[in-house]
Amino acid sequence: MKRMAVCAAAAAVLAVAPASEALAGKRYAATITRTTYGIPHIEARDWRGVGYGVAYAYAEDNLCLMAEEFATVAGERSRFWGPEAKAVLGFEEVDNLSSDVFFRAVIDLPALREGAKTLSPRVQDLLAGYVAGYNRFLKDAGTEGIPAECRGKAWVRPITADDMLRMNEKQMLLASSLNLAPAIANAAPPGSPAPKVAINMPDPRELGIGSNGWAFGSDVTANGRGMLIGNPHFPWKGPSRFWQMHVKGPDGYDVMGVGLAGTPLPTLGFNKDIAWTHTVTEARHFTLYQLVLDPADPARYMVDGKSEAMTPQTVTVPMPEGTAPVTRTLYSTRWGPIFIIPSRGITWSAQSAFALKDANRGNQRGIETWLRIGEAKNVGEVEAAVSETLGIPWVNTIAADRFGDALHADVTAVPNVTAEKAKTCATPIAPLFAELAILLDGSKAACDWDAAPGTPVPGLMPASDQAATTVKTWLTNSNDSYWISNPAMPYRQLSPILGRYATARTLRTRSNFTETAALIAGGKIDHARAQAHAFANKSLAADMVLPELGTLCTGAEGAAARGCAVLAKWDGRFETTSRGARLFRAFWPAAAQIKGLWAVPFDPADPVGTPRDIVTEGETGAKLLAALERTVTTLEDQGIALDSEWGSEQLVLAGNEAIPIHGGPGGLGILNMQESERAASGKLIPRHGTSYIQIVGFDDKGPVADAILSYSQSTNPASPHAHDQTRAYAAKKWHRLPFSAEAIAAEAIGKPKRIAE
């Protein structure tokens, strides 16, 4: 077998050589080789070719999704799908008209075009190549080659450089301004009609945004080298799905991993020396400003006693054919656009208004940051990349290298607002916003972000004031703040804009610390043990509650007794074969809200072990049984068996095939998070959760990577790669990723595709 693989690799090299000569002189050229699960390996001699090949391969797998996203960022959803229809924007559903108004008003194309001129030549080449590659696919596919779902649609069109600028800006704003799109798009002066759409201020913790990441150093791994487990939790549908790729470019660039729609290279993955992943950070990447308005004009506001005019911007949104376009005028200030959230008392009155200033608006540094990470030879160079560029928009960076070092860097494009500034610039209502954002006084120029030397943009917080740790043991993050990445080494207190300090951690974070400590106590970590750790499907909530609940259940009657009987036999896990998981999933959210539930309150000195010990006596015990009774009755009324197998309840439909999905909600302390929504059938369909899972270690030759993409590569139902990895995920079947030329040749599906123009 080894001899056959070597021969195959040699044949592949011989086949590429004459083709490379034929591609000489072409402006864009790339070779795409597909391996198991349709993973593309893109090879190009320059950065234009890299972007060209990545875009072409992505369009092969996800054209309809990508074409729709280009229409979204261009503000054309109302025209093609109607103004009242909805689509996922960021991580929430938003009506099309609000989406269109937001993109047409907030994305400043002239500024982005000017900013693009300052990008490094290689980033400019990547973007130009991506445009050419996407358009080349459209040309090659022709009408009949377009997937049935979007064939003949007017929104499937060639793209331009402007489309890529809009797409990049949207990705940068994904966890900040984008989630306030309706609030910005529907802001109007006092006396205007009330908005016709619901507007809220989502808390990222309530959106299901998540991820887990682990970096293990030489002290705890079996071979004394670094090891990484990446488990980002991202949507199963829409443009925020991950897509696998392997890119070999100029100057030795050789990186395998994943990216989102429109990213021209891997944004998390590995090379021969380092592996990295990301988790959504708790740091806030924007601040809110409360404005004092000029009594003579609600479109003017006061700063240091002087009146300033808001800047009006009129945008026109095209409607479906035969319908007149919609025109709106939005207003902006030195602090950013005006926004409203009436349900939270954020309104535009004659006396006050609110504005939002976003650190990621105009952030075009991300691609260069990820290029530098992909070129890194150790975690020190990874930290330097994120620190010097401040281009990472809204995620932690967790990395490990072959030399046995582990890194957690919560270093992003964040406003430079110190604890002192947050205090002195607070308004009387600032405490009402503390859980979601920092509210500052917009009537004082001194309340602007502080400029620090050495940052790429004035007003950003320097990396030295953010959190970064390198160790030989282990570090992890499950979306709680920088305070604790390893319970043995809490971080010093930093600005509140970077997250909560010395406060209770989520059950998923506590589960992470508990399970990781048990993993390390069980011996040195290798791939097999890391795999079991990633897919253990244990619920910390169940571990903490079931024993006491058993005592409480003594003497229970009726529906509560039926629920108690099922939970007594449940294994406390969310495996596809677990019976009782559906009941506990429905019961725990209600139980967790009961006041006085825990006998031992949170203690900052024991953040992993507290709060704990549920109260089963008196009023609290009665409320717990009542919650269980209501849950049982509701499920039985819906025709859901209390003891059904979890895999028959949480599933993905692939045509007529039902694929059982393991894992469960992070709020139950489950590391393998799957947030699902109830379908009309009563079944639970994954919406957001475990996506691209990678376990990467290193041997003498290079990376050793096992991975799986839970929702598979392609969104085209006709593709053989629409559900193949989903079946593998359901079976916990890992894939050893082919990285070397020999491994790629051995796994190749069909012949390499060479494209050039």
The residues carrying an active-site annotation are: 211
Q: 485 and 491 in contact (C-beta within 8 Å)?
A: yes
Cα angle 302-305-307, degrees, rounded to a multiple of 5 = 40
E strands in 553-655: 598-600, 612-614, 651-654
Q: 97 and 326 in contact (C-beta within 8 Å)?
A: yes
Q: From residue 298, give the alpha-carbon distance in Å to each of 292, 307, 348, 445.
A: 9, 11, 8, 19
Q: Is 220 helix (H, G, I), strand (E, B) or coil?
A: coil
Peptide bond into 611 cis (omega under 30): yes
10 Å Cβ neighbour count for 92? 14
Task: Tell me the torsion sign for CA atoms 403, 408, 411, 412.
Answer: positive
Burial of 207 per CB tally in 10 Å (0-12, 13-18, 19+)? middle
With a CB cutoff of 8 Å and minimum separation 6, the contacts of 361 are: 106, 108, 169, 172, 173, 177, 336
Q: Which helix (H) or strand (E) holds 185?
A: helix 181-185
Task: List beta partners, residue 288.
Answer: 356, 439
The helix, strand and coil proportions of the chain, stated in percent and rounded to the nearest 5, come to 35, 25, 40
With a CB cutoff of 8 Å and minimum separation 6, the contacts of 402 are: 225, 226, 272, 273, 274, 698
d(CA 590, CA 588): 5
Task: Tell me the torsion sign for CA atoms 567, 596, 499, 205.
Answer: positive
Give the residue from 692, 667, 493, 677 showing the smallest Cα distance to 584: 667
Q: 175 and 335 in contact (C-beta within 8 Å)?
A: no
d(CA 122, CA 368): 8
Task: Tell me the torsion sign for CA atoms 197, 201, 206, 209.
Answer: positive
Q: 282 and 499 in contact (C-beta within 8 Å)?
A: yes
Q: From residue 351, give the alpha-carbon distance in Å to each of 122, 634, 686.
A: 49, 48, 45
Q: What is the CA radius of gyration of the chain?
A: 26
In the Cβ-directed half-sphere of 668, how many Cα atoms lie within 13 Å?
Answer: 27
